Structure 1
Amino acid sequence: MKQIQPKSLFVASCLALLVTSLSFGIRAGILGQLGVQFHLNAQELSIIAGTAFWGFPLAVVLGGFIVDAIGMKRLLIAAFVLHLLGIVLTVATPYFSSGFWPLFISTLFIGMANGTVEAACNPLVATIFPDNKTTKLNHFHLWFPGGIVVGALVVFLFKEIGMADLWQLQVGLMIIPTLLYGYLFSKLEFPVTERVAAGVSNAQMYRSVTSGLFIFMFICMFGTSITELFTNQWIEILLKNVTENGILILALTAGVQVLGRAVAGPIVHRLSPSGVLFISAILSALGLYLMGSQSGNMLFVAAVVFGLGITYFWPTMLGFVSENIPESGALGMNLMGGAGMFAVSIYMMFMGGFYDNIIGKNLPAGATMDAFRSAAPGTAEATAYAQAQAVAGPEIINVTLVIPIVLIVAFGGLYFYMKGRNKQLLQTA
């Protein structure tokens, strides 16, 4: 029997998450270009982008229910196949008569692959590092913003050298890490999940995911995910006519997340997971406020503040549940991930239509949006459309700002609740 190699499993997991994040970073950078090439409006683009976010919860929740039964290895092989199908279909989109459905289906495949990676890798990391879950989950999840940085810089580089039209090549680059993680996982031996190893029954697991604390965290996951992922996925569009370097704002935000998650250990241990979430909500709200109200170089300051705010949201939410509600096992972690992505998909679809409505209200009376959207650069119509976009983007950001403000109250309460509970446990120990 092969020996389990935690370090090799962790490296392969990071590569799988890198593919997940590259899909977000590259798609965020080419979203506007896809809209122009295939004549898609903002609502259609938001539906396509949102598909990745509801394909994810579909896979991650299903994976959460079956991972203990079929094992993490089979799930990750399925993720590999779905990633390959999604990448190939995206590249082949120009060969179809309509761009919408190939992009929709390919994004669904990639979203399901991304969810399957999380469904298997989150419990895998918690299982192979049982004494350091939150820190190692932060280290694992630094590859998500890391891939966004790489993807955003790839898009920016292609744009700078005049090869922005080669978006198929940009998407095709994801095949390299996909093949690498598929090969590694096919060769490695996997442990059983932590819940199975501990002998926790299905009844105990289902009771734990209906507890008050889990439901509270489940609802809060809606807000943390929308704050982070909606803003990052749409930043190039929202700031398109506010700054020429929207994709660099995304890269800077993600770069801050990489550095923050790399040094997560001492921060989480000093502040506690609930304290980290409370401070993260404050910084996220401040960062979004600055993004919606500033311009020029101040947008880069806003990106740093916002990046600091969202750095610890996703992995610390998962780590909190794994440490404080351990009986929930892989199902608990995957329900959290599914809740977050599902909330983003719904929010993104709603905001796509809202964005179009704001633009329409800021165009001359009686104007048709399609005529202005497709107007030649330099014309009065193109200028009017750009000015309407410049108003719409910050307005969407300001609406989204309400979410982290609510989270400040929620996580402030959580911090004091956990502080009191831990104190009570120490007194009774």
Structure 2
Amino acid sequence: MTTLNKGRLFWLGVLALFTAAASLAIRGAIASGLKAEWIDPIAPLQAGELVAAALGAAFLSFAITLFVASALLDQIGMKRCLAGAGLCFILGPLMIVTAGHLATGMTIYWVVWAGMLLSGIGWGLTEAAINPLTAQLYPDDTTHRLNVLHAWFPGGIIVGGLAGFFLSAALPWQGIMALVMIPAVATVVIALTTTFPPPLREQSGVSFGEMVGEVFRRPSFFIWFAAMFLTAASELAPGQWIDVALSNRVGMRGILLLVYVNALMFIFRHFAGRLANRITNPGLLWVSSLLAAIGLFMLSQAQSPVAAILAATVWGLGVCVMWPTMLASVAERYPRGGSWAMGLVGSAGALASFFVLPQLGAMFDQAKIEFAGGPEAFAALTGAAKLAVEDAAASLSFQRLAILPLILLAVFGFIWLRERGKSRAVLAGEAA
């Protein structure tokens, strides 16, 4: 371990995660343009659901890839994972930007869907490698280091989101999507020229069977698995949907709200380790869930830029530490689960967005048709009348999403109280 360049390895992880995040943000930023140019003409009544499903495809492949690659990480190797991730971030966007030249009709949609899927594979390979790598490099400071690492996920969202906003007048959406390839190439080159630590199981002495068995031997793991599903749905799904759903309603581009929220995340993730030391990880997650629920409901009611920024602040402070703190909680509670345990909860987070995003789109489509008075009535709407119906539908979709973090309040509250009770019992025993 002493011969390794820890700093180079850590910043390679940062670069790979930054690339994944920039790709995610840009996909969200160009969703409106993609929808207007390619999806609306071929499927106007289902356009929202189709675009949401295409965005969600990346989360499906993210989940599957993370699930498989985490289990086989020692066989695949972290170097191959990160180099492969970079290649996916080159080929996926390439398919998306060339879809209109490669196909016609609904086939365009499926080429876009496949490009999104490939981008998600890159994201899955990234998370499969960098989370256990960071835990391996910094075993005594895992929560802090994972939060610092994942601070660069919102960092990538900021850069990607701002690129999507400011370059929209100068570049077509295809050109903006292609920008992801720049850090992707750097990821491939650096990964191939960096020395990695030995496989985690080789270092820890835990066999593959013991690693997998750790999860099933301790059923409490599946509480964290289910909680990760809900925390990710509270964070990632609204982030992908916010530009499509809220831009017209609040009078500003939703992607700017996403950039602002991720600026908050970038800052506060650097302090999450200190907060967790004060109130424990479950306590921090309980507070986060409360703020997320309030923020999502406020977003559903926002009618102006000021109201939207205030709502986004509450929501952003709520979700900012959820993902890395969940990973750190699992790493600390199930150490023999290694990369498999961390990969499983990451897969749960990805699956949440895959399932929730299409539901958001479907709720939006159903609501807009109901508010309009039927499919024929909606098809006849134009201008301000159509925007008013879509705004009402967007509000409803965010109201329903706010239910998810409310469920988490009960889950994390139970874990928090239970662990505090155990700690007090131990202290009482020592005092006696």
Under a length normalisation based on structure 1, what TM-score does the superposition of the two structures give?
0.93
1:27 aligned residue: 27
Q: 1:332 to 1:425 in 2, by over 3 A?
A: farther
Which sits farther off after the overlay, 107-116 or 291-300? Answer: 291-300
**Which of 194, 200, 208 pairs up with 1:202?**
208
TM superposition shift of 1:364: 4.4
For residues 259 and 206 of structure 1, what CA distance do their matches in structure 2 show? Answer: 35
Alignment pair present for 1:212 and 2:219: yes
Q: Deviations over 1:225-261 (max 9, x none)?
A: 0000000000011213212321111111111111111
TM superposition shift of 1:133: 0.6
For residues 356 and 346 of structure 1, what CA distance do their matches in structure 2 show? Answer: 16
1:237 aligned residue: 244
- Alignment check: 8 A CA contact 1:127 1:193 kept: no
For residues 273 and 195 of structure 1, what CA distance do their matches in structure 2 show? Answer: 26
Q: 1:368 to 1:193 in 2, by over 3 A?
A: farther
TM superposition shift of 1:82: 1.4
For residues 101 and 293 of structure 1, what CA distance do their matches in structure 2 show? Answer: 34
User: Map of 1:83-98 to 2, 5 A cutoff?
Assistant: 83-98=89-104
Aligned residues: 418
TM superposition shift of 1:265: 2.7
Q: 1:209 to 1:427 in 2, by over 3 A?
A: farther
Alignment pair present for 1:73 and 2:79: yes
Alignment pair present for 1:386 and 2:387: yes
Q: What SS class does the counterpart of residue 262 from structure 1 fall into?
A: coil
1:376 aligned residue: none
Aligned-partner residue type, residue 363 of structure 2? F
2:291 aligned residue: 283
Q: Deviations over 1:387-418 (max 9, x none)?
A: 11110111001001110011011111111112
Q: 1:255 to 1:325 in 2, by over 3 A?
A: same
**Which of 345, 350, 357 pairs up with 1:348?**
357
Q: Deviations over 1:241-285 (max 9, x none)?
A: 212321111111111111111222322222211111111011111
For residues 12 and 124 of structure 2, what CA distance do their matches in structure 1 show? Answer: 16
For residues 102 and 204 of structure 2, what CA distance do their matches in structure 1 show? Answer: 51
- Alignment check: 8 A CA contact 2:93 2:178 kept: yes
For residues 194 and 249 of structure 1, what CA distance do their matches in structure 2 show? Answer: 39
For residues 305 and 167 of structure 1, what CA distance do their matches in structure 2 show? Answer: 30
- Alignment check: 8 A CA contact 1:3 1:189 kept: no
For residues 418 and 45 of structure 1, what CA distance do their matches in structure 2 show? Answer: 43
Alignment pair present for 1:47 and 2:56: no
- Alignment check: 8 A CA contact 1:280 1:310 kept: yes
Q: Deviations over 1:165-222 (max 9, x none)?
A: 6112211211111111111111111113444311123333223212122110001111
For residues 85 and 167 of structure 2, what CA distance do their matches in structure 1 show? Answer: 28
Which sits farther off after the overlay, 334-343 or 241-250? Answer: 241-250
Q: 1:128 to 1:52 in 2, by over 3 A?
A: same
Q: 1:21 to 1:381 in 2, by over 3 A?
A: same
Q: What SS class does the counterpart of residue 212 from structure 1 fall into?
A: coil
**Which of 268, 271, 285 pairs up with 1:260?**
268
Aligned-partner residue type, residue 230 of structure 1? A
Q: 1:366 to 1:414 in 2, by over 3 A?
A: closer
Alignment pair present for 1:294 and 2:302: yes
- Alignment check: 8 A CA contact 2:250 2:302 kept: no
Which sits farther off after the overlay, 209-218 or 116-125? Answer: 209-218
TM superposition shift of 1:365: 4.5
Gapped regions of structure 2 (runs ≥ 5): 41-46
Under a length normalisation based on structure 2, what TM-score does the superposition of the two structures give?
0.93
- Alignment check: 8 A CA contact 1:2 1:189 kept: no
User: Map of 1:119-130 to 2, 5 A cutoff?
Assistant: 119-130=128-139
Q: 1:385 to 1:6 in 2, by over 3 A?
A: same
TM superposition shift of 1:47: 1.2
Q: Deviations over 1:343-390 (max 9, x none)?
A: 210111222222111011112456264x45xxxxxxx62322211111
Identity among equivalent positions (%) equals: 30
TM superposition shift of 1:2: 10
TM superposition shift of 1:425: 4.8
For residues 230 and 253 of structure 1, what CA distance do their matches in structure 2 show? Answer: 14
TM superposition shift of 1:427: 5.9
Aligned-partner residue type, residue 382 of structure 2? E
Which sits farther off after the overlay, 46-55 or 96-105? Answer: 96-105
Aligned-partner residue type, residue 381 of structure 1? T
Which sits farther off after the overlay, 8-17 or 234-243? Answer: 234-243
2:7 aligned residue: 7
Q: What SS class does the counterpart of residue 222 from structure 1 fall into?
A: helix
Coordinate RMSD, CA, aligned: 1.8
